[in-house]
Structure 1
Amino acid sequence: MKSISVIIVSWNARDYLRDCLNSIRQTGASCVQEVIVVDNASKDGSPEMVEKEFPEVTLIRAGANLGFARANNLAMKCAKGSMYALVNSDVIIHPGCLQTLASFLDQHNDVGLVGPRVIGGDGNLQRTCRKVPTVWNTACRILALDRIFPDWQLFSGFEVPHRNHAKCMEAEVLSGCFCVARKQAVDEVDGMDEQFFFYGEDIDWCKRFRDAGWKVMFVPEATATHFGGASTSNAPLRYSIEILRATLKYWRKHHGIAGHIVCYLLILAHHGSRLLTRGVKRSLGMGSSIDSRHKLKEDTVCLRWLLTGKGI
C-alpha cells in the first residue's frame, strides 16, 4: 500500500537533491504515495531541475528561506499520506528502506517516529540515536569529556555508542536527517516548532513525541546514506550561530530561565577557552592551517554573538 508522503526541504543542494530523488524513484515505488520538495529559495537551479527531471514530484517554491521546521510543516499540511518521511536533500535511500520503516509503523501502533541506520559518505556509521540534552551530558559535550573518555558511558555526552546501533531499540532522539513519522502522532503532538530555524527541531520533536506517549524507535534493518552539509556548507558561520541560537531556545523552552542561564554560561566558557587556546597556538605558529584559521574565526563569531547578539 502506498502510504508514505516523502518530504524534502532543499536549499542550494541541486546535485545532492537529484541523487536523493533518483534513489526514491528507484526504491520507493511500492510504498511512496507522493514526493514533495520544498525549495527554500535556492539560486543554484534546484527547482528548475526538479520540474524538468522529476515531473512526478510536487514542488513548492517557498520564495524565501523558511528554515527546516517551517518548510517541513508547510509540506506536511498538504501531504496526503498516512506517514511522513522527512528526508534531507543529501540522503540516498537504500533498497527496502522505506518499506521496512513503513512496515514497522504498521506493526507497532504505539510507535510514532522511526529512523533507519545511517551511513556517512565516507562509509562509516553515523550515530543518529542521541540523548535528550541534560546539564550533565551538555557539560560533557562542551568540555569534550565525551572525546577524552570515549569508552566511558558516564561521559558519553549526547551520543549513543556505536555498538548499540546494531539493534532495534527505543531512542530518546533521532537525527532529523531522515525519519518517518506517523500522521496520527503528528496530528497529536503538532508539527515541528518553527522557533528552530535549522537545528534543534529534531530534538524538540522527539521529546514531544515521547512526552505524548509515542515511542521513538531506531530500526537498523532499514539503511540510508547521509553525506551531510549539503545546505549548511553554503553558510558555515551562520550555521554555527544557528546551532547556538537553537540550543539556547531548547533549554529555555524545556528547562526554563535557570536552565537557559546554565547552558549559556557553559557555551560561553567553551568558546572563550577555545578562542584563547587557539589564539595562543597561532601566536606560536602552531595554528596556521586553513582548518585552524576557520575554527578560530568560528569561535570569534560565536563569542561575539553570545556577548552582543550580533551575527557575522
Structure 2
Amino acid sequence: MDVSVIIVNYNSFKILQECLNSVFEHTNNRTIFEIIVIDNNSDEGDIRYALREYPQIKLIANSENRGFSAANNQGLEVATGKYILFLNNDTLFIEDTINKTIAFLEDFGKDSVIGCRLLNANKSHQPSVVDKDTLGNSFGENLFLYQFFKGVKKLNKYYYSDNEPQQPTKVDIVKGAFILCSKKIVDELYGFDARFFFYAEETDFCMRAADLGYNVVYFPRTEIIHLGGVATDKNLWFKFKNQSIAKIQIYQKHFKGMEFFLLVAFHYLGMFLRVFVYMVMSVLRLKINLFKKSLLYFRLLFIYPKNQFKNSI
C-alpha cells in the first residue's frame, strides 16, 4: 500500500462525500491508496448509510466524540500505507495532489512533513503555513500589530501567508487540512497527542517532528480547496473556546518559565482587548454578530485548562 488517507469526520456528510469523490476522481490509479474514515459519533444520520457508495473505505464509527487527535490515531492503528495523509473532511482535490506531493518528497530525498497550498472555495489563496509562537509574534498577534507590519516576520506569525513562497520552503507549521509524511515519522511521533481535543494538534505534531530533526516543508506546487470551518462556524463558542484552550495547551507543553508566563499573559491581554474592540465595532456598524463575539471573548477570560503536560517529556 502506497498511501493511507485518514479522514476524521463529525456530521457534514454531504461535504465528506464531495471530499471522497474528489480524491477518487483526481488520484491517478498508479498510486495504490486506502481511505480510512473515523466518524466521531455524528448525530445528523447514519455514517454507514452516508458511505454506502464507498464499500472500499475502512470505517471506524465511534460511539462518542473522541476528538480530532485521538480519532486520527485510531486510523493510524489500521493504516498500512508507506505514507500517511491526514486530510480534513472539508477539502476538495482539483488535481493529483497525492502523487505530486509524494514525487516531490521522494525527489527531495529527506524524510519530511509536507503541506500543500490551500485555496478558499473561490480559489483565492488561503493561509497554509504559520510560524510557531514566539514572544515577538505573539505580542504582534494579540495587539493586532501583525495587521500593520505584515512584512516584519518577528511580529507576524502569518508572515508566509502574506508573503507566500513560490518554491518549496522549510517552515515551522503546515496547516492540518493536508499533512503528508512517511509512516516512519508518524510512528516515531506516536501519532497525534490525544490531549489536544480540537485545534493545535498539527502545531504540536510539526513542532515535535522538528525537534526530532525532520523538516517541515510547504509545497506550493500543488493545491487543494479547503472550505474551512464548515462545521465549527455553526457553533462559535465551541470554536473560540477550543482554539483558546489549544493555544494555552501548546504553551503548557512546549514553553517554560518566563517565556511561558508572558505568552499566556499576551494571550489573555489579546482576548481582553478583543472584548472592547468588538463591542465598539458592533455599536459603530450596528452588527449583532460583532457584539456576540465580544461576549464570547469575555467568557474566555475565565477559562484556563488544567495542565496535563507537567510530567510529560
Q: TM-score, length-normalised on structure 1?
A: 0.91
Q: CA–CA distance in 2 between the matches of 1:250 and 1:193?
A: 11
Correspondences of 1:13-162 after superposition (within 5 Å): 13-28=12-27, 29-45=29-45, 47-162=47-162
* One-letter amino acid of the structure 1 residue matched with residue 15 of structure 2: Y
The alpha carbon displacement at 1:278 in A equals 3.8
User: Take 2:71 and 2:244, find their aligned partners in 1: how far apart are those partners?
Assistant: 21
Residues 273 and 219 from structure 1, CA distance in 2 versus in 1: closer, same or farther, beyond 3 angstroms?
closer
**Cα distance in structure 2, aligned partners of 1:232 and 1:149:** 29
Q: CA deviation at 1:253?
A: 0.9
Q: Which residue of 1 aligns with 2:309?
A: none
| Partner Cα separation in structure 2 for residue 299 and residue 86 of structure 1 | 31
Pairwise CA RMSD of aligned residues? Answer: 2.2
Q: Are 2:297 and 1:286 equivalent residues in the alignment?
A: no
Deviation of 1:117 after TM superposition, in Å, equals 1.0
Structure 2, unmatched stretches of 5+, are 307-313
- Residues 192-232 of structure 1 deviation map (CA, whole Å, 9 limit, x = unaligned): 11111111111111111111111111111221000101232
Q: Which residue of 1 aligns with 2:302?
A: 304
Q: Which moved more, 1:64-73 or 1:28-37?
A: 28-37
Verify the 8 A CA contact 1:174 1:218 in the aligned structure 2: yes
Corresponding residue number in structure 2 for 1:208: 208
Query: How many angstroms does 1:303 deviate by?
Result: 1.8
- Residue 257 (structure 1) shift: 4.7
Which residue in 1 is equivalent to 2:6? Answer: 7
In 1, are the aligned partners of 2:169 and 2:218 still within 8 Å (CA)? yes
1:147 aligned partner, one-letter code: Q
Q: 1:276 maps to what in 2?
A: 276
Change (3 A) 1:188 1:154: closer
Q: Distance in 1 between matches of 2:284 and 2:132?
A: 37
Structure 2 CA distance for aligned equivalents of residues 117 and 279 of structure 1 = 35
Contact kept in structure 1, 2:116 and 2:221, CA below 8 Å: yes
Aligned length: 306
Q: What is the Cα deviation at residue 46 of structure 1?
A: 5.8
Partner of 1:256: 256
1:249-289 C-alpha deviation (Å, 9 max, x unpaired) = 1111111253332222112211222223444555xx42531
1:183 Cα shift? 0.5
Change in CA separation of 1:212 and 1:46 when aligned onto 2, cut-off 3 Å: farther
> What TM-score do the two structures reach when normalised by structure 2?
0.91
1:174-204 alpha-carbon deviations (Å, 9 max, x no partner): 0001111210111222211111111111111
Deviation at 1:68, TM superposition (A): 1.0
Deviation, structure 1 residue 4: 0.6
Retained in 2: the 8 A contact 1:84–1:180? yes
Q: Secondary structure at the match of 2:43?
A: coil
Is 1:267 the counterpart of 2:267? The answer is yes
SS at match of 1:203: helix
Percent identity reads 24
Could you say which structure has the higher helix fraction? 1
Preserved CA contact (<8 Å) 1:27 1:94: yes
* Structure 1 unaligned blocks of 5 or more: none
Q: Secondary structure at the match of 2:52?
A: helix
- Native 8 Å contact 2:151 2:159 kept in 1: no
Deviation at 1:233, TM superposition (A): 2.1
Tell me if structure 2 keeps the 8 A contact 1:252–1:259: no
Aligned equivalents of 1:116 and 1:236: distance in 2?
27
Return closer, same or farther for 1:100/1:275 CA change in 2, 3 Å cut-off: same
In the alignment, what sits opposite 1:295? 293
Task: Give a deviation string over 1:236-260, Cα, whole Å, max 9, x none.
Answer: 2122111111111111111125333
